[in-house]
Amino acid sequence: MQRVVHDVKTGFKKTDRPERPSTVDCQSMRAARWRTGSARAAAVALVLAISACASTPSRPAAASGPGPKGRLLIVGGGPIPDEILDRFVALAGGPGRARIVIFPMASSSADAGVELAGDFRKRGAEAERLVLTHEQADSEDAARRLEGVTGIWFGGGDQVLLTKALGHTRVEAAIHRRYMDGAVVGGTSAGAAVMSTPMITGDEKHVGGSRPPAKDSSDAFMTIARDNIVTEDGFAMLPGAIVDQHFIRRRRHNRLISLVLENPTLVGVGIDESTALEVEPDGRWKVIGESVAFVVDARQASVTPAGKGALGAAGVKLSVLPAGSTYEPATGRSTLPEVASRKP
């Protein structure tokens, strides 16, 4: 759901969600050293920045060494087919071995995740919900609850609520460690959005651009434009990508294309409902489920420069990948499932 309020100072429309806990921008603090009025003030600012960075739990940076042993299973929302639930349990170790933790905090419902936990148990897995506040998630006790877990699931709802609860905490760090050690990490809807940084929040600054819709309109993301899509930090489980969800059903092409053209080094993937993207340890993507994944690759494209008119590009590579398709982000190569050959 889109919820925006008017910012009197900027003229932008922005989210009315509670602000996430502030974190220190280390690079900005270092740069501030050169703007201070005296060398002593600069030194003090630098020491404070270093101390704050050291005390803030951070997610692991992309390493040049061994990659993750685990897999991702990213679902685009909507009804989750049995095929996808079966696959998640199998990746978590299978019946009798899978130990799954569900984080349902994206939803405000007290029963969020209960039915899903039951679905996993029916498939022979141990499954429990773990509901945490940000303070609780930053405790060693909470992080230790993930020891031995083979599957981690992020529920649907509002992705900002989920990152507010888990972002930059010891639990988030533990999730990354479990993934590196071989656990499968999955999620649906909001739980798909959190997989990437930048994370699409669902808000925009300039609804309709120069032609805003009526105040009672539900229209959104009507333009391809710069400085419009609101993003925040996600969990960065899928480096080098931007993840969108409910993609075909809710016609979210404009917002993903806008973000990719603003960040052309990142590959955009819009996953439709009842469909999942499985990310293998070698980085290859595989599509399963009932619909398609839509890939936007502008890494070799020419993009119009900022301040020079409308946002545009030439040479963008698009792929519409049904179940059985694969995509290799490193090369941009996609393959479709076998189809009947055309007659000459």
Would you state the pLDDT for residue 329? 98
| Tens digit of each residue's pLDDT (9 = 90 or more) over 294-317 | 999 999 999 999 988 899 999 999
Contact 150, 99 (CB under 8 A): yes
Residues 195-207 as b/e (b if ≥16 CB within 10 A, e otherwise) read bbbbbbbbbbbbb
Q: Per the CATH hierarchy, to which homologous superfamily does domain 57-61+68-335 belong? A: Class I glutamine amidotransferase (GATase) domain (3.40.50.880)
Nearest one of 157, 198, 169 to 17, comparing CA atoms: 157
Question: What pLDDT shows up at residue 282?
Answer: 96
In the chain, domain spans: 24-56, 57-61+68-335
CA 58 from centre of chain: 16
Higher pLDDT, 203 or 341: 203
Between the alpha carbon of residue 323 and those of residues 100, 166, 330, the distances in Å are 25, 32, 20
pTM exceeding 0.75: yes
Look at residues 120, 130, 208 and name the one whose alpha carbon lies nearest to residue 166: 130
On whether the CB atoms of residues 100 and 126 are closer than 8 A, the answer is yes
Do residues 185 and 103 lie in contact, with contact meaning Cβ atoms separated by under 8 Å?
no
Cβ-based neighbours of 266, under 8 Å, separated by 6 or more: 240, 241, 242, 259, 260
Q: Which pLDDT band, with edges at 50, 70 and 90, does 66 fall under? A: confident
pLDDT band at 339 (very low <50, low <70, confident <90, very high): low
Strand partners, 13: 6
Convert the pLDDT of each residue in 211-265 to its tens digit: 999 988 888 999 999 999 999 999 999 999 999 999 999 999 999 999 999 999 9
User: Count H helices, E strands: the chain?
Assistant: 10, 19
pLDDT of residue 37: 38
Return mean pLDDT, the chain: 85
Spatial distance between the Cα atoms of 88 and 90, rounded to a whole number of angstroms? 5
pLDDT of residue 218: 87
User: What would the pLDDT profile of 69-87 be if each residue is shown by its tens digit?
Assistant: 999 999 999 999 999 999 9
Beta partners for 187? Answer: 74, 154
At 84-108, the pLDDT tens digits run 999 999 999 999 999 999 999 999 9
- pLDDT of 24 higher than 80: no
Instruction: Flag whether pLDDT at 122 surpasses 50.
Output: yes
